[in-house]
Amino acid sequence: MAKIAHAAAATAAKPGVDVGFIFKKALISALVALVLFSLMIGVRTEAGPEGQLIYWTRFGDLAGMVGAVFVGSIVVELLRRWWGPVDTPRLMPEGARKTLSVAGRAVAPILLIFTILVPVIFYDQRYILDLGILVLTYVMLGWGLNIVVGLAGLLDLGYVAFYAVGAYSYALLATNFGLSFWICLPLAGILAAFWGVLLGFPVLRLRGDYLAIVTLAFGEIIRLVIINWQSLTGGPNGISGIPRPTLFGIPLVAGENGLAAKLGIAFSPSQRLVFLFYLILALALLTNWATIRLRRLPIGRAWEALREDEVACRALGINTTTTKLTAFATGAMFGGFAGAFFATRQGFISPESFTFQESALVLAIVVLGGMGSQLGVALAALTLIGGFELFRGLDQFRMLVFGLSMVLLMVWRPRGLIGHRAPTVFLERNQAISSDLVKEGHG
Amino acid sequence: MDYFAQQLINGLVLGSIYGLIAIGYTMVYGIVGMINFAHGDIFMIGGFIALISFLILVSFGLTFVPLILLVVLLVSMAITALYGWTVERIAYRPLRHSFRLAPMLSAIGMSFVLMNYSQVAQGARVKPVPPIITGGYTLHEGADGFVVRLSNVQIVVVITTIVLLAIFTWLVSRTRLGRDMRACEQDQTMASLLGVDVDRTISMTFVIGAALASVAGMMYLLYYGLVDFFMGFVAGIKAFTAAVLGGIGSLPGAMLGGLLIGLIETMWSAYFSVEYKDVAAFSILIVVLIFMPTGLLGRPEVEKV
């Protein structure tokens, strides 16, 4: 009898919350936090009026932070218990799953139709149009990098270098030789792809994380050269007065030659924004279309295979260097297109726009979107850029939250939050061959 | 010749700082096989903590410089080591068996977190400190009036580095912890079967790496007299370059690589152009990885299926 009671108590205790353990854990976390934050947050230093450093204490903030860690630790632990182990498959009712998959298939067309309608709905709201252009630029960059990271599985930390090459190509060609945007756009893409090949050819033999560091170094080199080669690039002052794009030679200005006058309608500054909006939308859709088509070609299949298992690829006779190189160059080309668009939209570019932070942001879009999923990348760009815009007031916390969410995302769902793209083709199941057919047991 | 000698001294001092950071990269890479992207920022945090504890000690009226230096050194080593431990615990340990790129991405996120955390906590402006160690020796006075000097700061940096390296070498080669670390480096599964606590050993690796980086941060503060929240990024890449140049995974290699990078950077600034010194360091990284991926003292890596 006592045994049964004991067993019952044990089963009862199992799902119950172990208060002592959670409390102890939270206490330890708070203690660690106290030591970590003691000097960095408890004391604030600043250069005083005579250039000498002064400091003052902020024990209130310190106590607040430590308390937050204590409470946060308890909450996280409770959530973890409530959620259970990460790997447990979660079964949904058949109906819910069906609705969800229908909804999932409908998201992309609805999003596309909405995007096309944005300039119509928000014609007079400059702010929304500007934001839309910004989001679409990052969608395009994300889709471009997606070819490299998501499809081919090459971690590229210097993608912004190709963006910079594209932007500076257009800016320099247009301001020095007066070439039009439509001639420069393909040139910018080609030049960026050329740089991609130039960098990729020697370094693509390296393993994943070495490759990441080398691309990072390359991105920094390009930026430093742009800063220091003052006679060509204007150095830190950048290039200003970059011509705006024209609609097949017709400028979108108020004058007599402008598009508005030719069409016989009143000029409005929004017209140029609408034009830019559709331009970047077209470029982004071009990227998307090219990616989807490429994925069906042998080369696209090879990229995906490479991402899954490089050694197996080599064993199957795929030339890994050329395969990687094409992915790298294709990604770079779209980066170059986006760069040229950026230059023409801003009318002014400087090296400040091409820092490592930018590369990390685009990479975060691809990772958040689920590495390889086209829709995921678009949604991730919308979420991240929109989120940045929402928290514009909290400027200094922005990157802190950004970094933190990147860490948490990797810890919680390393395969991406929004979508996940499995290889396009794979064997449905492993077939066990009967032992009559092979000489030594299982084949 | 005098000019060259002076640059040689400066380069070696800078190289010792890079070497101390590089050891952290190489140790972590040797055991976990990942690039600890946030290590440069740990170095920056070390510099900040040294700065703050120094300010507090001075305001308490301490004037005996060696005592101040010792206390600052111990405080910044202890706190920064805890930063290293926390970073590993939060961002890397849960990802130990995740897919290949996950720890790298998480490390990039962590680097942003540390960088912006210190920007939020301590402000974005550069923090200058007055020279703490002054004076020095004149080694040689040339006929043209050029003086080769060896300042006391430089002596302190080099001696601290040598002492730390000696302690560290003893730790790795003679102690139980060092044996565990070497065992984990060779085969984690086997080590755990033989009773080595792998998690603890990896944590200790991060702790030691962070402690060495914090010393580098403090030396940087003493030598250049300033810290800012962004200094970890470039210093981190250069120290990583040093680790790769010396052969990643090799501890003497990291120090050698650090000295070489310090020398190359100083000589490049002295004889070619200051503007392109970072370009030179990054180019070396690319060139070394392409032509000599195992570095000077590294072992060739065989990919197993």
Pairs of CB atoms within 8 A across A/B: 180
Whether residue B234 lies inside any domain: the answer is: no
Percent of chain B with pLDDT over 90: 51
Domain that holds residue B135: 14-229
Q: Which residue has the tokens 């007055």?
A: B130
pLDDT at A11: 44
Residue contact A228–B125, C-beta within 8 A: no
Whether residue B121 lies inside any domain: the answer is: yes
d(CA A219, CA A360) in angstroms, rounded, equals 11
Chain A residue with Cα closest to B80: A36
Q: Which of A88-92, A161-165, B115-119, B263-267 has the lowest mean pLDDT?
A: A88-92
Nearest CB neighbour to A407, from listed B35, B82, B110: B110
pLDDT band at residue B158 under the 50/70/90 scheme: very high
> Given a cut of 80, is residue B300 above it in pLDDT?
no
Residue contact B116–A396, C-beta within 8 A: yes
Non-local CB neighbours of B160 within 8 Å, separated by 6+ positions:
B73, B215, B219
d(CA B67, CA A245) in angstroms, rounded, equals 66
pLDDT band at residue B285 under the 50/70/90 scheme: confident
CB atoms within 10 A of CB A87: 5
Rounded to an integer, the average pLDDT of A39-52 is 82
pLDDT at B139: 79
Domain ranges of chain A: 17-83, 106-412
Residue A205: C-alpha distances to residues A202, A216, A315, B157 (Å): 7, 16, 16, 39
Residues B28/B203, Cβ–Cβ less than 8 Å: no
Chain B residue with Cα closest to A403: B109
With b meaning 16 or more CB within 10 Å and e meaning fewer, what string describes A51-68?
A: eebebeebeeebeebbee
Nearest Cα neighbor of A221 from B295, B80, B71, B287 is: B287
Q: What angle do CA A323, A329, A335 make, to 5 degrees?
A: 140
Nearest CB neighbour to A39, from listed B52, B100, B125: B52
d(CA A260, CA B80) in angstroms, rounded, equals 63
Q: Which of A329-338, A418-427, B259-268 has the lowest mean pLDDT?
A: A418-427
Nearest Cα neighbor of A111 from A339, A294, A380 is: A380
> Given a cut of 60, is residue A209 above it in pLDDT?
yes
What is the least distance, in Å, from the CA of B144 to any CA of chain A?
A: 33
> Given a cut of 80, is residue B111 above it in pLDDT?
yes
Q: The tokens of A138 are what?
A: 């990052």
pLDDT at A18: 80
d(CA B247, CA A219) in angstroms, rounded, equals 23
> Given a cut of 60, is residue A325 above it in pLDDT?
yes
pLDDT at A429: 59
Please tell me which residue, B191 or A413, carries the higher pLDDT value. B191
Q: The tokens of A381 are what?
A: 């760009």
Nearest Cα neighbor of B42 from B220, B198, B245, B184 is: B220
Q: Which of A219-228, B164-173, B286-295 has the lowest mean pLDDT?
A: B286-295
Residue contact A32–B82, C-beta within 8 A: yes
What is the least distance, in Å, from the CA of B44 to any CA of chain A?
A: 12
Phi first, then psi: give them for residue A251, nearest 5 degrees: -75, 155
Whether residue B263 lies inside any domain: the answer is: no
Residues A169/A188, Cβ–Cβ less than 8 Å: yes
Whether residue B255 lies inside any domain: the answer is: no
pLDDT at A424: 65
Helix segments in chain B, DSSP class H: 2-32, 39-59, 65-87, 102-122, 152-174, 176-186, 188-193, 198-224, 231-246, 251-271, 277-291
Residue contact B109–A405, C-beta within 8 A: yes
A392-410 tens-digit pLDDT = 777 778 888 888 888 888 8
Rounded to an integer, the average pLDDT of A54-79 is 89
pLDDT band at residue A442 under the 50/70/90 scheme: very low
Q: Which residue has the tokens 């023409």?
A: A344
Q: Number of C-alpha atoms within 13 angstroms, CB side, residue B201? A: 27
Whether residue B157 lies inside any domain: the answer is: yes
Residue contact A32–B86, C-beta within 8 A: yes
d(CA B192, CA B133) in angstroms, rounded, equals 47
Q: Looking at the complex, does the CB of residue A44 fall below 8 Å from at least one CB of chain B? A: yes
Residue contact A225–B127, C-beta within 8 A: no
> Given a cut of 60, is residue A438 above it in pLDDT?
no
pLDDT band at residue B179 under the 50/70/90 scheme: very high
Nearest Cα neighbor of B289 from B251, B252, B247 is: B247
Rounded to an integer, the average pLDDT of B8-33 is 91
CATH code matching the domain that covers A106-412, chosen among 1.10.3470, 1.10.4030, 1.10.3720, 3.30.1330: 1.10.3470
**Which SS3 state, helix, strand or coil, does residue B188 take?**
helix
Q: Looking at the complex, does the CB of residue A60 fall below 8 Å from at least one CB of chain B? A: no
Q: Looking at the complex, does the CB of residue A213 fall below 8 Å from at least one CB of chain B? A: yes
d(CA B26, CA B34) in angstroms, rounded, equals 10
The pTM score is 0.86
Cα dihedral A314→A319→A321→A325 (10° resolution) = -130
Whether residue B31 lies inside any domain: the answer is: yes
List chain A residues with CB under 8 Å of B125: 46-47
Rounded to an integer, the average pLDDT of B233-252 is 89
Q: What angle do CA A434, A439, A442 make, to 5 degrees?
A: 45
> Given a cut of 70, is residue A425 above it in pLDDT?
no
Helical (H) or strand (E) element with A174: helix A159-177
List chain A residues with CB under 8 Å of B60: none
pLDDT at A421: 60
Q: Looking at the complex, does the CB of residue A202 fall below 8 Å from at least one CB of chain B? A: yes
pLDDT at A237: 87
Q: Which of A422-426, B185-189, B279-283 has the lowest mean pLDDT?
A: A422-426
pLDDT at A422: 61
pLDDT at A17: 64
What is the least distance, in Å, from the CA of A24 to any CA of chain B?
A: 17
> Given a cut of 80, is residue A4 above it in pLDDT?
no
Residue A150 identity (one-letter amino acid): G
Residues B289/A203, Cβ–Cβ less than 8 Å: yes
Residues B219/B160, Cβ–Cβ less than 8 Å: yes
> Given a cut of 80, is residue A52 above it in pLDDT?
no
Residue B137: C-alpha distances to residues A320, A357, B14, B134 (Å): 58, 43, 18, 11
A15-34 tens-digit pLDDT = 456 888 888 989 999 999 99
Q: The tokens of A72 are what?
A: 């946060």
> Given a cut of 80, is residue A152 above it in pLDDT?
yes
Rounded to an integer, the average pLDDT of B212-221 is 94
Helix segments in A270-347, DSSP class H: 270-296, 298-308, 310-315, 320-346
d(CA B208, CA B181) in angstroms, rounded, equals 11
Non-local CB neighbours of B20 within 8 Å, separated by 6+ positions:
B161, B164, B212, B213, B215, B216, B219, B258
Whether residue B298 lies inside any domain: the answer is: no
Rounded to an integer, the average pLDDT of A31-52 is 85
List chain B residues with CB under 8 Å of A225: 279
Percent of chain B with pLDDT over 70: 98
Residues A335/A141, Cβ–Cβ less than 8 Å: yes
> Given a cut of 90, is residue B13 above it in pLDDT?
yes
The structural domain count of chain B equals 1
pLDDT at A90: 53
Residue contact B109–A157, C-beta within 8 A: no
> Given a cut of 90, is residue B214 above it in pLDDT?
yes
In 3-state terms chain A splits into helix, strand, coil percentages (rounded to 5) of 70, 5, 25
> Given a cut of 80, is residue A98 above it in pLDDT?
no
A341-374 tens-digit pLDDT = 999 998 899 998 898 888 988 998 888 887 778 8
Chain mean pLDDT for chain B = 89
Nearest CB neighbour to A410, from listed B75, B105, B113: B105
Nearest CB neighbour to A45, from listed B51, B114, B305: B51
> Given a cut of 90, is residue B140 above it in pLDDT?
no
d(CA A341, CA A345) in angstroms, rounded, equals 6
Residue contact B90–A397, C-beta within 8 A: no
Q: Number of C-alpha atoms within 13 angstroms, CB side, residue B299? A: 10
Nearest CB neighbour to B119, from listed A46, A221, A396: A396
Residue contact A53–B279, C-beta within 8 A: no
Whether residue B30 lies inside any domain: the answer is: yes
Q: Number of C-alpha atoms within 13 angstroms, CB side, residue B139? A: 13
Residues B246/B254, Cβ–Cβ less than 8 Å: yes
Beta bridge partners of B128: B226
